[in-house]
Amino acid sequence: MRTAHTVTQIRAAEAALMATLPEGTLMERAATGLAVACADYLGGTYGAGILIIAGSGDNGGDALYAGARLARRGARVDAILLDPARAHAGGLAALRDAGGQVVPEKSRADAVARADLVLDGIVGIGGKPGLRPAAAEVVALVERHGVPVVAVDVPSGIDVDTGETPEPHVRATVTVTFGTHKIGLLVDPGATAAGAVHLVDIGLSPYLPEPALSALQAEDVAERLPAPERTSQKYSRGVLGVMAGSTQYTGAAVLAVGGALAGPAGMVRYVGPEQPANFVRARWPEVVVGEGRVQAWVVGSGLGTEPHRAEDVSRVLGSGLPVLVDADGLRHVLGRLEGQVLLTPHEGELARMLDVEREEVATHRLRSAREAARRWNATVLLKGATTLVVTPEGEARVNTTGTPWVGTAGSGDVLSGICGSLLAAGLSPLDAGSVGSYLHGMAGVLASRGGPIAAEDIARTVPEAYRRIRAVAT
């Protein structure tokens, strides 16, 4: 499992580790890992032009020490010191001893223009969000010339504990982070600013507490995936009820049911108006249409805005069974909920629920999801490029699988069906949401192969994703 910690947690762990080591050991480990990652990215160091943008703290020191190692391996290394009087003395001396040069202020633009790679050592986890004017000016030069950036620990300027990205901030191609992941590297919009994230082990793990955020990996998903036993039959594997679709949105019913059938439940019942029911029968003949006993419900996809559908949502929520509420069903979630409930809004739907502008949710994704989970006493799955799943108690997971091609009409309906099938098979809302998101994202990658897909392609590919993940555990 990929885990992330808060700045406070990391600082305490670093202090505990440093008390057992000679002075400077942690910085040496970080600089070595950073230099190796830069060399790997470049495909070699000899003759490469590397530019360090160094602030006054230890983050700048990491970058300068790494620059010294790269210079000794044949790279041309220049350094822009944003505060020369407060530059890390040991790192700067090491860089100069290795042949690195400090760039005069008047030559900064030329240094950026000739660089093959920029190391962002402006601020680390102790920095405040945003950049000071001098740093922002240099970063703007880097962006203008399109030079790839390797961020040291975190992209400078992001909020490390939330992933929020007030302007200006660094947009990295790669982020080399140390000891543990930071929340802002896994949660958007910070995750987008971080680019590809490479974790360097510096020995911090034994001193870290329980993580503040986690991301399931294939092995973790495999452990949680339900699998039938020899004596299993359709009822024991779980029966999911799907209440979706309307005269206006017939396709939502078909797609939600398709997602449900792709999951582990043994049977799906569809309950809805006659017209979408006919489409469901035609597309999925194995589905039972009509009321009956179920182990969990999915409600909301394509319900439309007719007032009487509120009764459907209320009835399902009052059933005492695990329930997933999606899309139009979220309009009818009015008070504090009881039992196992998973709410699956996108940013616009969550904004409506919280009575804020969509930009507020997009900017403060983790905070918004946590607020909604507390307010409704339900697990909240906030869809997006990095989907968040948050419990009322504050436990949070992020899903990092997927492709931009998954952002297509009906994709959310398929996701609701997948997660609902996992609920019916016995998973908790947290596991159903995080495992379902992982499957959905992986299926999207497999289906797209780098090209456009439709929502039904995702549903059709979920069994392949399921098989590949289960193969990890065997």
pLDDT at site 250: 95
Q: Boundaries of CATH 3.40.50.10260 in the chain?
A: 2-211
Residue 306 pLDDT exceeds 90? no
Q: For domain 2-211, give the fold.
A: Rossmann fold (3.40.50)
The Cα–Cα gap between 373 and 202 comes to: 35
Residue 473 pLDDT exceeds 80? no
Give the 3-state secondary structure of residue 118.
strand
- Residue 346 assigned as binding residue: yes
- Residue 20 assigned as binding residue: no
Q: What is the pTM of this model?
A: 0.94
pLDDT at site 42: 97
Q: Boundaries of CATH 3.40.1190.20 in the chain?
A: 218-472
Residue 305 pLDDT exceeds 90? no
- Residues paired with residue 101 on neighbouring β-strands, in sequence order: 78
The Cα–Cα gap between 428 and 449 comes to: 31
User: Which is the CATH superfamily of the domain at 218-472?
Assistant: Ribokinase (3.40.1190.20)
What residues have CB less than 8 Å from 474, skipping those under 6 apart? none
Question: Can you point out the beta strands (E) in 195-251?
Answer: 196-200, 213-215, 239-243
- Residue 384 assigned as binding residue: yes
Q: Which of 359, 354, 382 is nearest to 166 (CA)?
A: 359
Q: Parallel, antiparallel, or unpaired for β 174-178 and 196-200? A: parallel
For the CA atoms of 339, 345, 348, 352, the dihedral, rounded to the nearest 10 degrees, stands at -10
- Residue 124 assigned as binding residue: yes
Which whole-number Å values give the CA distances from 150 to 196, 198, 234, in the listed order? 9, 10, 51
C-beta neighbour count of 315 within 10 angstroms = 12
- Residue 146 assigned as binding residue: no
- Residue 58 assigned as binding residue: yes
Phi, psi at 192, each rounded to 5°: -70, -40
DSSP conformation class of 85: G
The Cα–Cα gap between 351 and 356 comes to: 5
The chain-wide mean pLDDT, for the chain, equals: 96
The Cα–Cα gap between 61 and 54 comes to: 8
Please state the length of the chain: 474
pLDDT at site 377: 98
Give the 3-state secondary structure of residue 180.
coil
Q: Quick check: 414 and 256 in contact, CB under 8 A?
A: yes
- Residue 412 assigned as binding residue: yes
pLDDT at site 307: 86
The Cα–Cα gap between 92 and 330 comes to: 56
- Residue 188 assigned as binding residue: no
Helix axes 58-72, 25-42, angle to 10 degrees: 50
The Cα–Cα gap between 62 and 188 comes to: 26
- Residue 140 assigned as binding residue: no
Which pLDDT band holds residue 271 (cuts at 50, 70, 90)? very high
The Cα–Cα gap between 263 and 421 comes to: 5
- Residue 420 assigned as binding residue: no
- 385-435 pLDDT tens trace: 899 999 999 999 999 899 999 999 999 999 999 999 999 999 999 999 999
Q: Which residue has the tokens 């509420």?
A: 325
Q: Quick check: 193 and 158 in contact, CB under 8 A?
A: yes
Q: Mind giving me the DSSP string for 416-454?
A: HHHHHHHHHTT--HHHHHHHHHHHHHHHHHHHHTTS---
- Residue 128 assigned as binding residue: yes
Q: Quick check: 416 and 301 in contact, CB under 8 A?
A: yes
- 116-175 pLDDT tens trace: 999 999 999 998 999 999 999 999 999 999 999 999 999 999 999 999 998 899 999 999
Which pLDDT band holds residue 110 (cuts at 50, 70, 90)? very high
User: What tokens appear for 273 in the block?
Assistant: 């108006």
- Residue 153 assigned as binding residue: yes
- 441-455 pLDDT tens trace: 999 999 998 899 999
Q: Parallel, antiparallel, or unpaired for β 181-182 and 117-121? A: unpaired
- 198-217 pLDDT tens trace: 999 999 999 999 999 999 99
- Start-end of H helices in 48-132: 58-72, 89-97, 108-113
- 23-73 pLDDT tens trace: 999 999 999 999 999 999 999 999 999 999 999 999 999 999 999 999 999
The Cα–Cα gap between 418 and 220 comes to: 17
Which pLDDT band holds residue 92 (cuts at 50, 70, 90)? very high
- Residue 426 assigned as binding residue: no
The Cα–Cα gap between 433 and 437 comes to: 6
Give the 3-state secondary structure of residue 296.
strand
